[in-house]
Amino acid sequence: MAAKQSQSHKKVTLKIPAELYENLAKIVEGTGFSSVTEFAVWVLRDVAAGGKLQADPPGLSQREIELIRQRLQALGYIE
């Protein structure tokens, strides 16, 4: 009977676009990372260790977003 993996060592598959994978493969060449997966895990752990992500996207204030929505609505792109 095979030994059960502990919850911390259990792995799942994360699907990303092939183009992103290829770009990441270029980034990790010549670094200490042995694979794109190892690099992705490192990045995700770093993000997760920092707490939660900002609710608002960086760069635009709520007021700027509202002005863009109003302009798109005036142009007929959104209702």
pLDDT per residue as tens digits for the range 39-63: 999 888 888 887 666 665 567 788 8
Whether 24 is covered by a domain: the verdict is yes
Give domain status of residue 41, yes or no.
Answer: yes
Look up the pTM and report it. Answer: 0.53
Contact status, residue 24 vs residue 40, Cβ threshold 8 Å:
yes
Look at the chain and report how many structural domains it folds into: 1
45 or 5, which is more confident? 45
- Look at residue 3 and tell me if it is in a domain: no
Residue 5 lies in a domain: no
2: in domain: no
Would you report the helix, strand and coil content of the chain in percent, each value rounded to 5? 50, 0, 50
| 57 within domain boundaries | yes
- Per DSSP, the residues of 48-70 read HHT-SPPSSPTT--HHHHHHHHH
Please report which confidence band the pLDDT of residue 17 belongs to, taking 50, 70 and 90 as the band edges.
very high
Q: Which distant-in-sequence residues (6+ apart) come within 8 Å of 35 by Cβ?
A: 28
Please give the residue range of the domain that contains residue 53: 17-74
The pLDDT of residue 57 is 58
Residue 30 domain-assigned (yes or no): yes
Residue 1 has pLDDT above 50, yes or no: no
11 within a domain of the structure (yes/no): no
